[in-house]
Structure 1
Amino acid sequence: MKNIHKELNRELAGAKLERIIMSDRHTVVLSFYNRGQKSQLLLGMNPSLPELHFGENLKLKSLNPPPAFVLTLRKYLLGARLTKVDAPAYERILNFSFETINDLGDLTEKSLIIEFMNRVGNIILVNRSGVIHTALRHVDHSVNRYREILPAHPYVAPPPQNKLRPDELYELSAEEIFCRQKANDDLAQAVYKNIAGFSPVLGRETAFRAGLESERLYADLRQEEKDSLRRALLAICQEINEEAVFPALYYDDSSVNSERRLIDVHSIRLTHLPYFETSASTLAAVSDYFTHSRTVRNFQTKKHSLAGSLDEKIRKAVHKRELHEEDRARGREAEQHKLYGELLLSNLHAIKDARSSVIVQNYYDENREIEIELDPRYSAADNANRYFKKYARNKRRLEQAEKLLARDAAQLAYLESIKISLNCASDFDDLLAIEDELSAEEPQRIQQKLTDGELRQEPGRPASKRRRSGQYKQSRKVNKQTEKGSKHELPPRHFLSSDNLKIVVGRNNKQNDRITLRQARKDDLWFHIKNAPGAHVVIMAEGQKVPEQTILEAAGLAAWYAGTNRAGGASSSVDYCEARHVRKPGGAKPGQVIYDNFQTILVNPLDPAILEKVK
Structure 2
Amino acid sequence: MSFDGSFTHAMVHELQQTVTTGRVSKINQPYANEVVLTIRANGHNHPILLSANPTYARIQVTEIPYVNPPVPTNFTMILRKYLQGAILKGVTQAANDRVVHLVFTARNELGDQQELHLIVEIMARHSNVILVDQASGKILDAIKHVGSDQNRYRLLLPGAQYITPPKQDLTDPFTGPRPDLATTIREFPNRDVLAGTLQHQYQGLGKDTAAALASALHQAGDANANFTTFFARFDDPQPTLTVSPKGKTSFTAFPYPTEGQQQAAATLSELLDTYYQDKAERDRVQQQGSVLIRVVRNELKKNRNKLKKLQRTLAETENADEYRVKGEILTTYLYQVKRGDTTVTLPNFYDAEKPLKIALSNQLSPNQNAQKYFKRYQKAKNAVSYVTTQIEQTQANVDYFDNIMAQIELAAPKDLIDIRLELQQGGYLRDHDHQKKAKKRRKQQISKPDQFTASDGTKISVGKNNLQNDKLTLHTAKRTDIWLHVKDMPGSHVIVHDADPSEQTILEAANLAAYFSKARASSTVPVDYVPVKRIHKPNGAKPGFVIFTGQKTVFVTPESTLVDQLTANNQK
TM-score, normalised to structure 2, is: 0.71
Number of the residue aligned with 1:119: 125
Equivalent residue in structure 1 for 2:459, among 502, 508, 512: 502
Number of the residue aligned with 2:427: 442
State the AA in 1 paired with 2:483: W
Structure 1 residue 101: deviation in Å? 11
Q: Matched residues in 2 for 1:357 and 1:563: separation?
A: 55
Number of the residue aligned with 2:5: none
- SS of 1:251's equivalent in the other structure is strand
Number of the residue aligned with 1:159: 167
- SS of 1:503's equivalent in the other structure is strand
The answer to whether residue 113 in structure 2 is matched with residue 92 in structure 1 is no
Number of the residue aligned with 1:45: 52
Query: 1:588 and 1:116, CA in 2 relative to 1: closer, same or farther beyond 3 A?
Result: closer
Query: 1:507 and 1:178, CA in 2 relative to 1: closer, same or farther beyond 3 A?
Result: farther
- Measured against aligned partners, the alpha-carbon deviations of 1:536-568 in whole angstroms (never above 9, x if no partner) come to 3333324xx332222322333333334437465
Q: Matched residues in 1 for 2:113 and 2:555: separation?
A: 75
Structure 1 residue 321: deviation in Å? 0.5
Contact 1:265–1:286 at 8 Å: present in 2 too? Answer: no
The answer to whether residue 495 in structure 2 is matched with residue 538 in structure 1 is yes
Structure 1 residue 609: deviation in Å? 1.9
Q: Matched residues in 1 for 2:85 and 2:479: separation?
A: 63
Number of the residue aligned with 2:228: 234
Q: Matched residues in 2 for 1:75 and 1:371: separation?
A: 88
Equivalent residue in structure 2 for 1:409, among 381, 385, 395: 395
Equivalent residue in structure 2 for 1:203, among 207, 210, 217: 210
Number of the residue aligned with 2:375: 389
Equivalent residue in structure 2 for 1:251, among 216, 241, 249: 241
- SS of 1:527's equivalent in the other structure is strand
| RMSD after superposition | 5.4
What aligned pairs does 1:3-22 form with structure 2 within 5 A after superposition? none
Equivalent residue in structure 1 for 2:361, among 358, 368, 375: 375
- Measured against aligned partners, the alpha-carbon deviations of 1:131-168 in whole angstroms (never above 9, x if no partner) come to 88987554659966xx4548878946523333254333
Contact 1:249–1:289 at 8 Å: present in 2 too? Answer: no
Q: Matched residues in 2 for 1:208 and 1:182: separation?
A: 11
- SS of 1:278's equivalent in the other structure is coil
Q: Matched residues in 2 for 1:553 and 1:209: separation?
A: 46
Contact 2:483–2:530 at 8 Å: present in 1 too? Answer: yes
Structure 1 residue 84: deviation in Å? 7.5
Percentage identity across paired residues of the two chains: 25
Contact 2:22–2:39 at 8 Å: present in 1 too? Answer: no
Query: 1:565 and 1:399, CA in 2 relative to 1: closer, same or farther beyond 3 A?
Result: same
State the AA in 1 paired with 2:565: I
Q: Matched residues in 1 for 2:565 and 2:528: separation?
A: 22
The answer to whether residue 547 in structure 2 is matched with residue 602 in structure 1 is no
The answer to whether residue 201 in structure 2 is matched with residue 194 in structure 1 is yes
The answer to whether residue 350 in structure 2 is matched with residue 364 in structure 1 is yes
Contact 1:51–1:290 at 8 Å: present in 2 too? Answer: no
Equivalent residue in structure 2 for 1:574, among 527, 533, 551: 527
TM-score, normalised to structure 1, is: 0.67
What aligned pairs does 1:161-560 form with structure 2 within 5 A after superposition? 161-163=169-171, 165-169=173-177, 173-176=181-184, 185-186=192-193, 188-206=195-213, 225=219, 227=221, 230-238=224-232, 244-246=235-237, 250-252=240-242, 263-264=250-251, 266=253, 274-279=262-267, 295=281, 297-299=283-285, 301-302=287-288, 306-366=292-352, 368-423=354-409, 425=410, 427-442=412-427, 487-542=444-499, 545-560=500-515
Query: 1:48 and 1:576, CA in 2 relative to 1: closer, same or farther beyond 3 A?
Result: closer
Q: Larger relative CO (CA 8 A, sep 6+): 1 or 2?
A: 2
Contact 1:52–1:290 at 8 Å: present in 2 too? Answer: no
Contact 1:52–1:287 at 8 Å: present in 2 too? Answer: no
Larger deviation: 395-404 or 603-612? 603-612
Unpaired runs of 5+ residues, structure 1, are 211-223, 254-259, 447-473
Structure 1 residue 320: deviation in Å? 0.7
Contact 1:2–1:87 at 8 Å: present in 2 too? Answer: yes
